[in-house]
Every structure is written in C-alpha cells, then in structure tokens.
Structure 1
Amino acid sequence: MKPTSHTVTGELLDRAVLVSLITQKQKKNEDLAEQSLQELVQLAETAGVEVLETMTQNKESADSKWFIGKGKVEELRLRLEALDANTAIFDQELSGAQVRNLEASLDVKIIDRTQLILDIFAQRAKTREGIIQVELAQLSYLLPRLSGQGKNLSRLGGGIGTRGPGESKLETDRRHIRGRIDELKAQLHEVVKHRTLHRERRKKAGVYQVALVGYTNAGKSTLLKQLTDADVFIENQLFATLDPTSRSMELPSGKEIVITDTVGFIQNLPHDLVASFRATLEEANEADLILHVVDSSSEMREEQMRVVAQVLQELGAHKQEQLTVFNKIDLCSQQELELLSTEGAFLKISAYSEEDLGRLRDAIQDKLMGETKRFRIPAEKGDLISLVYRIGDVLDNEMDGEEMLFQVLVNKDDYEKSGYLLAAYDQDAALQEQSGEEGENQ
C-alpha cells in the first residue's frame, strides 16, 4: 500500500476531534474550562495526534450512558465522518460503559484525558523506574475499564491508547493483570528502598537537596541545564522530560548541593499517575528546599500555581521551605511583571540570563545556609573555635592580637542546635548593640 497523507510507513495516523463537556458547575469558571481544552490540544499534539477540530457541549451534568448526550454524539459522528477522523479524544475521564457506547455509535477510537496523559508518559519513560511507574498507572487505570476497551485494543495502526503494556497484556484476564500490578508494586518498592538509601547517604554526608517542581513546560529542565550544565532533553512540549534527573551544583560559597528535576504537574493530573509516581515526586518531600518554577508568561499562571500547591499538599510537601521562581520574564511585558504574585519568598528570572542565575544561586544559598556571621573569639577558646567550623562554612579567618576573627556562612539547623553558644562573640550583634547604646545616649 502506498502511504497517503494519513499514514506513516503504512501505519494509520491518529486524526482526532477533541471534545469537552462543560457542566453547570464548570460554567462558573469558563476560563478554566477553556484552558483545560487548550491543554488537551497540546497533549494530543505531544502524543503525535493530528488535531482537526475541537467541540464543546454545555450540559447540566454528564450523561451516564453517552457522556455528552445522544444528540451531541450524533453531531460528533457527522463531524468525524466529514473530517475523515479516526479518533475522538475527550477532555474528561470516561467510564468503561461510556467508552463502549461511544465506540459502538461512532466507530472510532475513543480516548479520554487520563489515557492520553498515560500514553505520553509511556512514550517519555526511559529509566527502569519510569517504565515501571507508567505501566503500573496504566494497568491501574485500565483494570476497571477492560469491558469497555474492546476495539481500542484491536484497532489497526496502534497509536495512542495502546502504548506501554501492549495488547497482549491488556487482553488477558483481570487476575493476570492484578498479579502484574502486585509484581510492579514489589519492583517499585525495591526502587524506593534504593532511592531512600541514596537520600540517607546524601543527608549523612551533609549534602543539601533542592527539588525543582512546577507546572509542565514551566522551564524546569532548562533551569537545571543552565544551573548545572546537565545533559537533559529540552523541548517546548508538555512532559518533555519524565524521569527525574539529579545533578550537583556549586553554590557561591563553594559548597556542592544536589538539584533534582521532578515530573511536571498538570490540571487534573490522573490519580493513578500521582499514586504511581509518588516515589519520584517524594523527592520534593525529602528536599531541604523546593524551587517552585512558574511560567511568568502564561495567562493561567495563577491557576497553574494553585495546581502545583494542591499536588504538593497531597504529597505532604507543602510545609517544606519554598522559593517561587518566576521564570521566562524575558517573554513578559513590564505590566505583566508587575502583576506577578509577591507572596512569600520569590525571584523573577530568565533561565538564559547569567545575572539572573547568579541571583538565584545566591538566593538558594541564603535559603539553605542562612546568613553570614562574623565572630571574634579569644585564641585560647579551642572548643569555641572548633564549634565555629561545625556550624557552617568558614569563608575567612585571621589573627588579631590575642583573638581570632572568623567570617562564617552558617548552617541554620546547626546554628540553632549549638551556635547560640557563640552569641556573645557575634561581631555584628555587638556592633548593633553598641550603635543602639550610642543612640540612647544622644
């Protein structure tokens, strides 16, 4: 067969109409519904689908049988035929029965938002851990829907919805799939143990950990590459990188830290995915500092920030020390920059500006290490001099008569534990006290 515009090397391409249901509840925030549909377009294109048209249906609630209602299904069928489409992608999650009914009526492949995201993850996973997590999420999603997956699994050409575990595994009985899920969970448990050991070793060695989190396509991987010269895949796509990447970075003080890039978040991130990727996302839980990277140029940045905060809350990482990094300021107007949220600790940067990266390194150092303190200690106080070296990094030291002068970048935790014993020798505190006394005398 000679390939047409609809085939690549004999394989049928996915040509899709995208469908979104806007219920009465969602109508209160139409901007959010529109953003979700635009995200679906990006997700479909990321999965290699040719998007032909989008369609919305306003309805009080979802139809239990047809999801969008029988009349709208007929309208969709006519559009699919007119556009020579072979796939319908829905922006919401469908039940097995809805998939079965829509497939029988429309005679095309039916994919929902969750399955589309899982499919992209199946394409992106490269490490053993990533592949295990994706297959676990896909099987957990498909198990209760097997009765509705008939034609999807046997439709010619493969494409979206069939990547990952593959047809042979999915067409077997539920007992086999449950056994496979148990097997994958056991494998993942071993991976988690291995990752935990690595984290404990880093902690014992006093290595600080920083986690990059943020909405997908906010520029986390670019930032990691610019800060550490990491060899990571960067593309203007949703979920361009999936597997977590850890690289070392040197702070201005010379101390080395580890930065980890985590998987990007997205609106309505499938629960099966959050559960399966918990081991990866928990890097944020163990981090000494979370850098929340935000795409400043996105019109929906406030909503995207809310989604990230919600996922961090689910993971129990919301109490960690955080620094919000408003990235891509080079794509913003002055007015847009002024509208950026200024709550909590934040920094406005472009990942391609060396000056901005320098400010970010300084901010990370300040957050992790605390402030720089100066101590004047009598030379005979050997125990206190030893303590100085334990509470942080000594940047400079010199003899001044019978005393030693130290400039120290203090570690906040260590200083709180025992550094208070040096309070009487804190030069800056002494100067402030002297300045205060002089002010009172005047």
Structure 2
Amino acid sequence: MSIAITAPESSDAPREELSTAAANRTVGVRTFRPAIGLAILALVALILFALNAAGGSVEFRLSDPGDAIELPHLSVPITPYGWLVTIALAALAVFAAIRARSLPRWALILAGFLFVTGFLVWIVGTAQTPSISLTALLAGSVALATPLIFGSLGGLLCERSGVVNIAIEAQLLFGAFSAAVAATLANNVWVGLLAAVVGSMLVSLVLAIFSIKYRVNQVIVGVVLNVLVSGLTGFLFATVLQPNAADYNSPARLPHVTIPVLSEIPVIGPVFFDQSIIGYIMYVTVAVVWYALYRTRWGLRTRAVGEHPKAADTLGVSVNALRVRNVLMGGAVAGLGGAFYTLVSVSAFTRDMTSGAGYIALAALIFGRWNPVGALFASLLFGFASNLESILSFLGTSVPSQFLAMLPYIVTILAVAGLVGASRGPAASGEPYVKE
C-alpha cells in the first residue's frame, strides 16, 4: 500500500521549502552524524583548549583609548574557559546522540559560538602579549569577508536556480579588472562600480549560454571560465595596464562613510556604521536576497526550478529563462565583490589579485547551506580566520599560521559531510533542463 502526500493548492503567499533536517524530524529519521561531529569538536577542545592551555588569562579590549565610550577590558581565564567549552560541547554531543536526529538551530549556533570563542581564547593565550582588540578583530573580519559574501550570494542565486557556479572566481576577478580600468578612464569611481557589475555579468552570460542553452557540463564550463579570465586579465595587465598605469590602472577609491554617533558605539559601531559604500551595499544585499528568495513569488519560482524544474514547468514557469536571468543577477552581485578589490582595498589591479576568493566563496555557500544568512556567517568565519592570522603574526604566537589558514576548510568539510547537521544543495543543481 502506498501513501501519497500532496501539498495544498498553491497560493500567492510563498512558503519556504521543507529542509532536509525538518523532513527528517517529521518522519523520525535517526542519524548520529551530528553527535559524531560534536564529539569531534569536544575532543579537539579537550586536547587544545583544556589540556594544552597556556594558563593565565586573555584580555579582550572592548574599546580603545580616545573612544567616545570607553568600556573596561574583558579578562577571560584560559584554562577554565577551555574546560567549560569542552564540557558544554560534550553535553551537546550526548544530547544529539540521545535525540538521534538533526539538531535544532539553537544547538548548532551554541556549539559554533562555544568552539569559536574557545579557539580564540586558546590561540590568543599562546601569544607573547595575550591581549587583542575585539573591535579591530571584528571590523577587519567584515572587511576581508565582504567580497566573499558578494561571491557566495552570486553563487547562491545561480545554484538555487539549478545552475552550478564554479566561475565565482572569474566573476570576482573580471569585476575587479573592469572596475579599475573603467574608473581610471572615466575618472569616476561610480562608473568603475557599474563596470564591475557589467563585466561580471558578461562572464555570467558565457556561463549561461554554454550551461543552459548548449547544456555543456556546468562544472567544466566554470573551471574553463576561471582559467580563461585569469589568463586574459593577466595578459592585459602585463601588456596594457602595467606599462600605462597612470592611464589605465589608477582608479580612485569609493568614499568611506562614517555615521556620526552610531559609529562610536563600542565594538559594533565600527563594524556596522564605519564602512565603505560597498560595505553598506553588502548588508542591504544580504537582506534583499533573503527577502526575495523566501518572501516573494520570484523566490518561490526560483526554489521550485532548483528543486523540481519539471513540476515548475508544468505550472507555467519558464525554467531556462528564469535560470538565465538568475545567473546574470548572480554575476551582477559577484561583480560588486570584485569592485571591492580595486575600488576599496587597493587602488590598482594586479594579476590574480582575488587569490582564490571565488573558491572560498563557493565553500562558504556550501557551508551556509545555500541560505543567504548562512552564507553571510560562513563568509565571516573565513574573514575572521584570515584577520586573526594577520593579527596573531604581530602578537607573536607559537601556533603556525598555516594552521589558521586551513581551519575554515576543515570545518567546511565537516559541514558538507553532515557531521554538524544536514547539508543538501538544491536537488536539480547541475542538471540541464530539456523541455519535453
């Protein structure tokens, strides 16, 4: 006997699709992968944070001298906090094993907070001067994560439509190149910003034509585009931009906007209210993409095309046309991240200046479970690790910098393996659609 489960008739109000974790809870699927993942984190915390703690305490500076509001420093004892994190993670692992299902969101957030803060206390404690400015750490992390956030959002718009986007690296790189050249020629930074969007959309157009119209393997197209754009921009840099830097590669920078009063709030003020224009656009873009994806008819159709294109086609949705539009929109968003490199970070384009950021953005997209907010926090984790690596190199720590560089990728592998909860991309991602 078979039981058919049918959804109610469609309405104008879009609904968020049932996630894998929610589906598992509904049908009572037992899984011990979250418990295993938390047990691994608890073991790492035991070995590093508890048994190999430096002793003493770590000082977190919540404000700097001269700030409008000065807060007392926060002192955290290293060894006791390491044991606290270990015990709490072990308790969460036991809870996950008893529950034998995907963990609720609050448990995942708590586990992530405990492990990240435990790691921060432990590694800063190994420095010659165990003191760090929390404001500088967070503000620098957001700055380094900004192009990753744009890249991951661009990839999200593609993959939610069913198109695998490996070409995020090419989109960021060509966006940076276009921004530098256009801003220099026009002597206008806003023209450069627009050129970054257009340049990245051209890369997306090639991706859309070959992967959607001609149904070429999407992964192969993405890899080829990355190599092509890297070679093309490298050639133009060596033959045109470098010999004539004043004429073609000297863009101005986008204005930095400091909001009075709000920017003086300790810790969060510089993070949210002392940013470049790209930084403010980034916050708005995350909110807009989330709202559009989960609260509009376009978002409902996009998710339907990414999960079950044949059913969407039956309901009158033009699958391939929607995919093309979303791939182009994804390129426009990624182009803003490319503009960050040449219009905010440095005032010049250099060969392969994105340094693999597109691949990191793709990892953040997967780690964030194809959700705009998840991609935001995953990108911030990568930015946090990169900024912490730079800060600790000045503080003088005994931990190799390579360890910090590889940590986010290890966490991503655990996430993709489902050891910290279910991680599943759109069902039709990477599959060309042929209308019957």
Same fold by TM-score greater than 0.5:
no
TM (normalized to structure 1)? 0.20
Higher relative contact order (CA 8 A, sep 6+): 2
Bigger strand share: 1
Largest Rg, 1 or 2:
1
TM (normalized to structure 2)? 0.20
